[in-house]
Amino acid sequence: MTRVLIVGAGGHGHVVADALICSRREGSDLEAVGFVDDDPSLEGATIMGLPVLGSTARLGRVDHDAVFVAIGDNVSRAQLFGRLVAAGERVATIVHPRAVLAATARVGSGVLVCAGAVVNAAAVLGDNAIVNTGATVDHHCILGAHSHIAPGAHLGGGVEVGEGSLLGIASAVVPGCRVGRWCVVGAGAVVTRDLPDRVTAVGAPARIVRRHPSDQKHQARS
């Protein structure tokens, strides 16, 4: 059995806890032991039957075998993931039992594949990426580390999503397109041609409405 400590007790943390609970019922060796969260008002609370054991500073004093970073914001999740890996923590990968994951898909460390998601043949999911509820990632797609495919978003075959990018709810990317690093694709947008790094694009077809400074990572929120 692998005891997993969930880092983050907000809404995304609840989704992660549910995926762990459902996976355990289906025979997974992953078992949630509780949360840590830096919101002091949550300490001592019970969420989904799991205790909030204190702040992230208590990580080293809580018995666990692995952690999972349950933060929706891509920048914050990337930063915390990096700190935990540097500190020697093992980061779990979680696939909800109601997701479909192709046998030839490659899945990195700290990835979450939510209920109803489909990841098809030869897709590659980078470290700390999220494929959220009901999203589809078709064959030969590549998701960069810390990227987030939001609920109901759909990627055609051979799509590449750069590091840290967020594809909003019900957005779509046509086959063969590339979305650059640290981009935001708005809800319902349809990407029909490549997007450069660090832009926000909205609409159908998607058009660039904002460019982010090259020396900063945009705060891509779920």
Catalytic residue numbers, as ranges: 139
Q: Number of H helices and number of E strands within the chain? A: 2, 24
Judge whether 119 and 98 are in contact, CB under 8 Å.
no
Which tokens sit at 209?
């409405």
Q: How many CB atoms lie within 10 A of CB 10?
A: 16
DSSP 198-210: SEEEETTTTEEEE
Please state, in angstroms and rounded to a whole number, the distance separating the CA atoms of residues 19 and 169.
Answer: 20
Q: How far apart are CA 33 and CA 43, in angstroms?
A: 15
Are residues 46 and 28 in contact, defined by beta-carbon separation less than 8 angstroms? no
Cα 137 to chain centroid distance, Å, stands at: 13
Report whether 165 contacts 179 (CB < 8 A).
yes
**Tokens 């609840």 sit on residue:** 14
Reference 133, options 175, 185, 184, 95; nearest CA is 95
**CA dihedral (175, 178, 181, 185) positive or negative:** negative
